Amino acid sequence: MSTHGLIPPHGGKLVDLIVNDARRAALKDAAAKLPHVKLPEREQCDLELLAVGAMSPLTRFMTDADFHGVCDSMKLASGLPWTVPITCSVDKATADRIELGSSVALTDEKDRVLAIMVVEEKYVHDKKKECERVYKTTDAAHPGVAVTMSQGDVCLSGPLEVLTSRHEPDWTQYRLTPAQTRAEFQKRGWRTVVAFQTRNPIHRAHEYITKCALEICDGLMVHPLVGQTQKGDIPADVRMKCYEALLKNYYSHKNCMLAVWPAAMRYAGPMEAIIHALVRKNYGVTHFIVGRDHAGVGSYYGTYDAQKLFDEFDPAAIGITPLKFENSFWCRKAGSMATDKTTFSTPEDRVSLSGTAVREMLAKGQRPPVEFTRPEIADILIESMKAGG
């Protein structure tokens, strides 16, 4: 076990790549004379997670061996489970100008320095292989495939010294590092913690499964993804208002907390579900909710494929316990939230609305039924649509 009796990080040690103030000042001066590599949004998100230890045991963007290990066998070169490549890519012309053993400054879209990398390795970014093995498709309409295919053709890897995990970060009061969430769990006396990953507002179905999970754990961490998403997803600032309202009014303040996860969404379905669980272990979480079509998009993945993929791994190697939930709904016959496991009902007994129907109601300023979503959440979404959010 790790210190404080909490679950060990993936690989046993929590990584920290952020330098101290003195080293930061020296690196900032040095960066002015180095080639600059501008990171796109996904790679900025990945760098932040590497820096604070959320991607432990990774201490750098993946090597060639790690990249192919993940794509071929869902394992790092060390043998630890991992299912999504974490890479830093550039175009071939840029790669040709970078000598092995030299340093480059990694910057954000405004050319502000984020980190210094000593380039120890350059390798071909097999994007087609990544899409086939991770996304299970090469369809350019898949948002994760589209981002991957837009990346550079050469990957860089080497030791990182991170000056800052992010310039001008949003939601700083909720942007807790793994070290900080672990300290908070310790402070609250939580030995078992369940995390809920989401990129949507929490409706009654989500509320039901999170509260079911909370019945068997000491605490619940609602951990929404607030990094890169696709057009059409509800903006993170709107979702954050929804989470705050819901936790304030409908959850135990003693047993629940909200923190943001500044990751890029890959929409890789089952493969991404494994990563979503592994990184939460680094945050000190012991249990992880895996629901219907976890991390899915469109019709690329089966409804419960993510839950099935967990069964292909040794539970001891994964470490965190997946809590698998079926689709839930309000059952008029039972007078409560339910699933096919807990009630026998006909479709007519169920309050079920399509996403299109909900959007149409909200656009007209109408609240969906209270059995579907809490009125406070509906009002926030209605106001957002009126404002063009």
pTM for this one? 0.96
Pick the CATH number of 178-386 from 3.10.270.10, 3.30.1360.30, 3.40.50.620, 1.10.1200.10: 3.40.50.620
Question: What pLDDT is stored for residue 355 in this prediction?
Answer: 78
Report the Cα–Cα distance between both ends of the chain, in Å, rounded.
Answer: 45
| Chain CA centroid to CA 262, Å | 7
pLDDT at 389: 54
Structural contact between residues 223 and 231, judged by C-beta atoms closer than 8 angstroms: no
Predicted confidence (pLDDT) at residue 4 exceeds the cutoff of 80: no
Candidate list 182, 199, 204, 280, residue with the active-site label: 199
Of 341, 180, 192, 196, whose CA–CA distance to 273 is shortest?
A: 196
Give the pLDDT confidence of 120-166 residue by residue, as tens digits. 999 999 999 999 999 999 999 999 999 999 999 999 999 999 999 99
Q: Please report the pLDDT score of residue 341 as a whole number.
A: 93
**What pLDDT is stored for residue 2 in this prediction?**
42
Backbone angles phi, psi at 99, to 5 degrees: -85, 145
Tell me what the mean pLDDT of segment 49-77 comes to: 98
Omega before residue 40 within 30° of 0, cis: no
Query: What pLDDT, in 10s, does the model give residues 223-270?
Result: 999 999 998 889 999 999 999 999 999 999 999 999 999 999 999 999
Q: Where are the domains of the chain?
A: 3-162, 178-386
What rounded mean pLDDT belongs to the chain?
96
pLDDT at 133: 98
Q: Is 200 a catalytic residue?
A: yes
Residues 324-333, mean pLDDT to the nearest whole number: 94
Catalytic residue among 23, 97, 200, 249: 200
Check pLDDT > 50 for residue 210: yes
C-alpha dihedral, 133 to 54 to 231 to 110, nearest 10°: -110
Can you identify the CATH homologous superfamily of domain 3-162?
Answer: Sulfate adenylyltransferase (3.10.400.10)
Q: Looking at residue 357, what is its pLDDT?
A: 86
